[in-house]
Structure 1
Amino acid sequence: MRIISGKYKGRRISPPKGLPVRPTTDMSKEALFNVLNNHFSFDSLKVLDLFAGTGNISYEFASRGSSPITSVDGDFGCVKFIKQTAAEYDFPIAATKSDVFKFLEKCNASFDIVFADPPYGLDQATFEKVVLLVFEKNILNQDGMMVIEHSKYTKLAHLPNFSFQKSYGGSIFSFFEFESDEEFEDDSFEDDEEE
């Protein structure tokens, strides 16, 4: 596993064997951050990484200057590894061992980016619940973006606030944003002009 951009570009990070994870591939990661780069300046972005696993995505945000970053996973080994790596590289990452749904229910903070990579084996309803909870609990800032990674067998485009999706190999990233009233007004103004 390597960091693909930012201050620590090219740095290899080796998690211990036996962790229950499926890290996002370098190709998918690069594509994801290219999309995000068109919407955000990474410096000082407040990030929430759900089902963080090895911390793969959290390290990418940290290398690009995002801070603070909260990484949540239910596995003790994963959280321990993220804490060790964050300390080694002085990353602004707070790793929390928690069931993701319990964390979301109790979360009082809000974030610019919420990234979630649930195990692909979870059912459709569980993926939907992650997205719905983030918006119900106002965990995403108004001009922020939620990204959920999933397989082609999980369909999320019907959910409220769905914006677009990108497919890379066997992985799909679905992006969610609050609808902007300002953009809507601009569009309708252009329509009036054309008529």
Structure 2
Amino acid sequence: MRITGGKYRGRTVLCPPGVIRPAMDSMRESLFGILGNLEGQSWLDLFTGSGCVGIEAASRGASPVHLVEKDHIKKQTILTNISMVDSQIQLFMADVRRFIPTAKRQYDIVYADPPFPMDGKIELAKAVDKANLLTENGLFIIHYPAEEKKDWPKEIGNLFCYDERQYGRSTLRFFVNKKETKKDEA
């Protein structure tokens, strides 16, 4: 895998051992093209896998970037991958469902790429909303299988879907947070 744009464009990202389904380069490139300049935006990458999406965010100016992954087999590879980043990037080894309600800060963008077979993806979005993880007008983006497209509501709490893109068997759904929220910075 390679970083598709920004400061670290062209750098190689290692694929960790274990079960992983890396986001396609073309999908990542499209995602970051849609988002544009991320300078100064905080980013949370849930189910980080290799750390590639978080590194893409950092490459395009996001800071801080926080990564969450529970599979300890992937830890060393993720740490090796993020060692190229000279801005603030941090890995949290935790189960995403436990991390969300205990997060100490809000983020401008929360990106979730749960395993395709995982149940409860809509509940995951509800948990992000309930935990006030997003700043006002912050974005929640989830990557899921295209066959689940019909299951998703237009609104989840204060999250309103404003865009959806399909890339082969993959779908990206974009939500914006329409509630003014405050949470202590960590």
Identity, in percent, stands at: 31
Distance 1:90 1:138 in 2: 28
Per-residue deviation, residues 53-108 of structure 1 (Å, max 9, x unmatched): 00110010111121100000111122322222222443421001101000012112
Query: Please, which runs of 5 or more residues in structure 1 have no aligned partner?
Result: 182-195
Aligned 8 A contact 1:156 1:174 in 2: no
Equivalent residue, structure 1, for 2:34: 35
Question: Is 1:50 matched with 2:49?
Answer: no
Q: Kindly tell me: are residues 138 and 180 of structure 1, through their superposed partners in 2, closer, same or farther at Cα, counting changes over 3 Å? A: closer
Deviation of 1:180 after TM superposition, in Å, equals 8.0
For 1:22, give the aligned amino acid. Answer: R
Deviation of 1:15 after TM superposition, in Å, equals 2.5
Q: Kindly tell me: are residues 91 and 179 of structure 1, through their superposed partners in 2, closer, same or farther at Cα, counting changes over 3 Å? A: closer
For 2:7, give the aligned amino acid. Answer: K
Equivalent residue, structure 2, for 1:138: 132
Distance 1:69 1:82 in 2: 13
Aligned 8 A contact 1:113 1:140 in 2: yes
Q: How does 1:38-187 map to 2 (within 5 A)?
A: 41-123=37-119, 126-154=120-148, 155-160=151-156, 161-179=160-178
Distance 2:105 2:26 in 1: 31
Q: Kindly tell me: are residues 29 and 8 of structure 1, through their superposed partners in 2, closer, same or farther at Cα, counting changes over 3 Å? A: same
Matched residue count: 175
- When normalised by structure 1's length, the TM-score is 0.84
Deviating beyond 4 angstroms after TM superposition, the runs of 4 or more aligned structure 1 residues are none
For 1:130, give the aligned amino acid. Answer: L
Question: Is 1:15 matched with 2:15?
Answer: yes
Bigger CA radius of gyration: 1
Distance 1:166 1:20 in 2: 25
Query: Please, which runs of 5 or more residues in structure 2 have no aligned partner?
Result: 181-186
